[in-house]
A and B are shown apart, each in its own frame.
Chain A
Amino acid sequence: AQKVTQAQTEISVVEKEDVTLDCVYETRDTTYYLFWYKQPPSGELVFLIRRNSFDEQNEISGRYSWNFQKSTSSFNFTITASQVVDSAVYFCALSEYGNNRLAFGKGNQVVVIP
């Protein structure tokens, strides 16, 4: 069965600091997809990134970057130079090939203090 673990619950940082969110996953499939979503206070989940299991290339998009390591089953997410607008809950999720059901972690509450 697929499983996603996000160990930290709430993380507080001062504005302009970097923050890294850890995500560890479990799956028996060799083909799978990993996601990060952001949930601002309004409640709607906003898609940030998807990675498939064959693409370990790390990515940078603006102030966001992702570090995918199959060897440790981790898909970590970093916000560089955090801003108050980054305050939200961030979810890591996993789906297995042929089954688009998403398994979510419990989320990381990020609080950016001005």
Chain B
Amino acid sequence: DGGITQSPKYLFRKEGQNVTLSCEQNLNHDAMYWYRQDPGQGLRLIYYSQIVNDFQKGDIAEGYSVSREKKESFPLTVTSAQKNPTAFYLCATDSGQPDIQYFGAGTRLSVL
């Protein structure tokens, strides 16, 4: 199946813990994005990567980190520095500007 796979679907974080959200794609897209969605809010950009081994901060990068070692994968780590991590996280990809971004099914992160 072609598409974008996010895992896990639900994730719980303990105080002081780092957690990693997975995003994998087999669309052969160059660009990948991470968004955060809070209830009643639009999506806000955390990080994005337009090519392997390169990534840029978005609007709310503090408390998050990413890597892009492979074209297919763009994991997001929510660090202990992120004091309010409870949100819905969406990964997206596209093949370059101008293009349509396609989204994964999301990961819902909660704090225990």
Contacts and interface: CB of A to CB of B under 8 A. Distances in A.
Interface residues of B, number: 27
B45 A101 contact: yes
Contacts of B43: 45, 91, 102, 104
A52 B108 CA distance: 32
A43 interface: yes
A20 to B, nearest CB: 19
Nearest to B97: A100
A9 interface: yes
A102 B58 CA distance: 10
Contacts of B33: 101-102
B102 A107 contact: no
Interface of B: 31, 33, 40-45, 48, 50, 58, 88, 90, 92, 94, 96-106, 108
